[in-house]
Structure 1
Amino acid sequence: MSGLAHEFMAFDSREEATRFATQFIVGGLEKALESKATASLMVSGGSTPGGVFDALTSTEIDWARVMVGLVDERWVNPENDASNERLVRSRLLKGRAGSAGFIPMKTLASAPQAAATDRDMAYAPHCAPADVVLLGMGEDGHTASWFPGSAGLSEALASETTIASIDAAGCPVAGNHTQRMTLTGKAVTSAAAAILLIFGDSKKAVFEAAVAAPVDEKPVRFAIDKLGPRLTVVWAA
């Protein structure tokens, strides 16, 4: 357990929550750029962060000095609608933010297990620590690709590396895309700052349950505990 707790911020609208999350990310990157040549931003996929990505495209920070990476990825081609890389390229890496660098997770390897070492080398310099991490959470209490009951979960949370492969076969929330690559527990929870963006009453209930649940049942608990006060939870109905 962390000695200090995360901050939970509730907003009246998703638009307000999105604006705050955007400002949070910009602030974290600007702070990093004051003392480093390059800042790193690790982002999640899904529908929730889309508005944040859109807003970031017009923010006036030195995007040419920012490296953007993924928190996790489905092992699908970047042209696939399920690809987080596709989402980030189409919603975030445009406008002013188009000058940012990007680190893909998906490679030409047949499976994430075969690409883990290569991607670890690519991601490690930017996650030591990452400056800002944008997390999401599923209805099953997963974040990143840390699905309850998935093969490789315990290894991913305990690993000293930056990247891990996950086999989420049998995990309903993973859907048809069960082969995943993800940042490890260490990579996520060493971040200088992290934001967990969740919308809806059901997600709020899942989060509240996760705070007291075993990590193997609600893996987001690992991030909550290890990040402690470096985690800001942003919620709107």
Structure 2
Amino acid sequence: MAVTEHPNATPAALAAHIASALRSAIAERGRASLAVSGGKSPIALFEALRGQDLDWAKVSVILVDERVVPRDHADSNTALVARHLLQGAAAAARFVPFFRELPAVLSEQVLDRLAQDANERIAHLPWPLDLAVLGMGEDAHTASLFPGAPGCAHALESTERLAWVTPATAPHARLTLTLPSLLAARELVLSIAGESKLAVYRRAAQQADAALPVSLVINQTQTPVSVWMA
């Protein structure tokens, strides 16, 4: 599939694109599924998206990735989505968190159980995803597929929809959609802002390289990708 680039993109334009895809999914299949990324970058997008004319009650929303922190933690993507996306009419959407309670101590065995439980929690959603909105870090990670991090190699290949990753370069263990589950989506959106990230994107677009995980999204022929550059 070809990559479609949208230079000088605005949050409003991307929100309209996402809403159009979700409306089409509802018209064709009666419901739609959307995965969104967290962090500070998508806030303007979320606030534009929640105002779109959409039958939100027919939309299921999950995260692309989540930090393994309580919901009241400042770094919780679940709380971010609740504050900035699931407001107004969009509050009618069905949001499925990856977890509710967390143990006090995290080990690989505990992360295995969290990932297993999260996979069971999201199993009933309408798969494949209609659309997943991805971001990208300056180290070329996307979702929580951090290059070289414990768990990343597994998450790049796992047949499960979710896996854990523990990045050395960012705080908190993560649960993330695996690369195969992302590539099974009907459409992927990659949102990039800033010249430094654009340079990383251009480098990653040259060829697939596991050291640049976003390149595995860009350089594939399974799933259409649209790149929105602010």
Q: Is TM > 0.5 for Structure 1 vs Structure 2?
A: yes
Letter in 2 for 1:188: L
Q: How far is the alpha carbon of 1:62 from its aligned partner?
A: 0.5
User: What are the Cα deviations for residues 67-116 of structure 1, in whole angstroms up to 9, with x where unaligned?
Assistant: 11000000001111101001100000001101101011233243432211
**What's the counterpart of residue 36 of structure 2?**
43
Q: Secondary structure at the match of 2:61?
A: strand
**What's the counterpart of residue 13 of structure 2?**
20
User: What are the Cα deviations for residues 163-199 of structure 1, in whole angstroms up to 9, with x where unaligned?
Assistant: 101121x2x2x1x22x110001111111111111110
| CA–CA separation in structure 1 for the residues paired with 2:69 and 2:221 | 30
Letter in 2 for 1:234: W
Say if 2:4 is the partner of 1:7.
Answer: yes
- Out of 43, 47, 60, which is 2:53 matched to? 60
| CA–CA separation in structure 1 for the residues paired with 2:16 and 2:79 | 24
**What's the counterpart of residue 178 of structure 2?**
184
Letter in 2 for 1:196: L
Q: Any stretches of 5+ residues in structure 1 without a counterpart?
A: none
**What's the counterpart of residue 26 of structure 2?**
33
| CA–CA separation in structure 2 for the residues paired with 1:227 and 1:48 | 27
Letter in 1 for 2:138: E
Q: Secondary structure at the match of 1:46?
A: coil
- Out of 90, 107, 116, which is 2:83 matched to? 90
| CA–CA separation in structure 2 for the residues paired with 1:157 and 1:216 | 8
More displaced stretch, 124-133 vs 85-94: 124-133
User: What are the Cα deviations for residues 171-228 of structure 1, in whole angstroms up to 9, with x where unaligned?
Assistant: x2x1x22x11000111111111111111000010010111235532110111112366
| CA–CA separation in structure 2 for the residues paired with 1:44 and 1:142 | 12
In the comparison of the two structures, how many residue pairs are matched? 224
**What's the counterpart of residue 69 of structure 1?**
62
Q: Is contact 1:53–1:91 with CA below 8 Å preserved after alignment?
A: yes
Relative distance call for 1:233 and 1:36 in structure 2 (3 A) is same
| CA–CA separation in structure 2 for the residues paired with 1:226 and 1:38 | 27
Q: Is contact 1:127–1:162 with CA below 8 Å preserved after alignment?
A: no
Q: Is contact 1:189–1:227 with CA below 8 Å preserved after alignment?
A: no
TM-score of the two chains, using structure 2 as the length reference = 0.92
Q: Secondary structure at the match of 1:59?
A: coil
| CA–CA separation in structure 1 for the residues paired with 2:126 and 2:156 | 15
Q: Is contact 1:76–1:106 with CA below 8 Å preserved after alignment?
A: no
Q: Any stretches of 5+ residues in structure 2 without a counterpart?
A: none
Say if 2:221 is the partner of 1:222.
Answer: no
Q: Secondary structure at the match of 1:7?
A: strand
TM superposition outliers: structure 1 runs of 4+ over 4 Å: none
Identity %: 36
